[in-house]
A and B are shown apart, each in its own frame.
Chain A
């Protein structure tokens, strides 16, 4: 198991928020740390891609709209994406339990994230000193390489331990839990995506009229049984209508009122 745990630990580091090696945020945090993607990677390492992706999708629903403004995080998605999903796969208790497990680990992981932010102050200080001396290599080392050493240790070690020991004990541990806790975990796992969705809605919905679109989207799935690709196409067309027919001066109304002058675009 040490080989798998090492690989997952390295991936966890590569996907951390401040790791530069996969073109920074773009290829790391926003690509491999999305549970949809990490589920596939971790599943591949643990030898069960299908389960990995299924759990990844379920966990992804919770974190679909996690925005991290100014470096403050409600939940450490990186630990959710790697050690937590690995434990979810290893526990063999299904997706809802995996989601509850992941959310718990994610909240706990923010502590380590904050530790890294504090430790980086030390590296920033060293970079300041090198800068005043005109030592360009020092500036590079203390802001690109140095902080990555702490970052690597804080990501790799917890992940390695969680996967290496978790692989032996998680399944037995889950079996030892009383039925009511497993049942609660699976109910919570089912409703947690509501938090992720609500975070996004809180950001976007400035006027109540936008709820109309939310309800239309909801009904398209529940009653009209559209699939997600069709839903995105319908949504894109609706927003195109909105874009074209919204009168030029920005008004409060969000509903697409037919304007008499078409936008000369």
Chain B
């Protein structure tokens, strides 16, 4: 045990955060996923806190056990783990196993929240704005996405890391409270709303069907549809694909292949195009 208290300064914490952000997936494999990423993220703290090689190995082993979560929101768990290791190294009665239990207990819920918030909500919303700004090939669209996403994510994950370090396990409260559940619900509403707009703007399908009635009037089906409900066919495609994926369990790849077959049939019959 250390006799003099060792504490981590701001620089060590920043190093831990950066190591985690960089290496979280760097050695991902099917059976270990982020485990060594977590270990590398703890390394700056472990090096400073434990001078005894045996304790170091034990700490590294503890943090190289199986781990997998959404890395950016998951920075909060790293903050907590760093905080707990610091307390443990200074002689507080914290069981190494308890730190691991905390990690394993949190990784599932945080992966759920993180995956639905970041790739499921924030990125699609920012991308749809970026895509709109990029109309006609304008460079503003990609730049908007690069700047806004990175600013939000870098500041956000750093803040969550520090919050986790300072508040310990209490900080998770923030992510699962009823207020944040409501906030997520409001955001998912925004996500669905924006997706409606994306579907209307980017899914394209038209029919080339034409009829000639008995009186010799040429009816162009697409023109007729455009007069009543433009973009009706794309809407039906989206609802149809959603139905087969959500209710019939069709995988994304199978959905793509099915659309390919349908499109080929449609083109061959001269209905689509």
Question: Which positions in A face B, CB cutoff 8 Å?
Answer: 17-21, 23-27, 30-31, 34, 36-37, 39-40, 49-54, 56-58, 60-61, 64-71, 74-75, 96, 100, 103, 107, 117-121, 123-124, 127-128, 131-132, 134, 136, 139-140, 142-144, 146-148, 180, 183-184, 186-188, 190-195, 197-205, 210-211, 213-223, 226-229, 231-232, 234-236, 238-240, 242-243, 246, 248, 250, 254, 265
Contacts and interface: CB of A to CB of B under 8 A. Distances in A.
B200 A216 contact: no
Given A36-B142, A210-B188, A239-B187, 15 more contacts: A31-B145, A37-B145, A70-B68, A118-B30, A120-B27, A139-B64, A146-B27, A191-B203, A191-B263, A197-B203, A201-B238, A217-B193, A217-B195, A228-B133, A229-B129
Contacts of A65: 119-120, 123-124, 195
B119 A20 contact: no
A232 B22 contact: no
B68 to A, nearest CB: 6
Contacts of B115: 67, 69
Nearest to B118: A30
Give the top 5 A-B pairs by smallest Cβ distance, nearest first: A217-B196, A228-B132, A50-B137, A190-B204, A143-B36
A74 to B, nearest CB: 4
6 contacts: A69-B111, A107-B256, A131-B64, A142-B27, A198-B242, A239-B186
Contact of B27 (A64, A124, A191, A227): A124
Interface string B39-82: 11001000100000100110011001000100110000000000
Contacts of A199: 245, 252
Interface of B: 18, 21-33, 35-37, 39-40, 43, 47, 53, 56-57, 60-61, 64, 68, 71-72, 111, 115-116, 118-121, 123-125, 127-139, 141-142, 145-146, 149-150, 153-154, 157, 178-179, 181-183, 185-205, 229-231, 234-235, 237-238, 241-242, 245-246, 251-253, 255-256, 259-260, 263-264, 266-268, 272-273
B31 A238 contact: no
A67 B149 CA distance: 16
Contacts of B273: 183, 186-187
A140 B36 CA distance: 9
Contact of B267 (A57, A117, A180): A180
A236 B190 contact: yes
Nearest to B111: A69
Contact of B186 (A58, A131, A227, A242): A242
A53 B36 CA distance: 37
A6 B130 CA distance: 28
Contacts of A53: 134, 137-139, 141-142
Which secondary structure characterizes the binding site on chain B? helix
A168 B252 CA distance: 32
B202 A61 contact: yes
A200 B131 contact: no
Given A235-B190, A248-B178, A25 B32 contact: no
Give the residue among B153, B229, B251 with the most A Cβ atoms within 10 A: B153
Given A67-B120, A121-B31, A201 B252 contact: no
B263 A18 contact: no
B70 to A, nearest CB: 9
Contacts of B196: 213-221
Contacts of A188: 259-260, 263
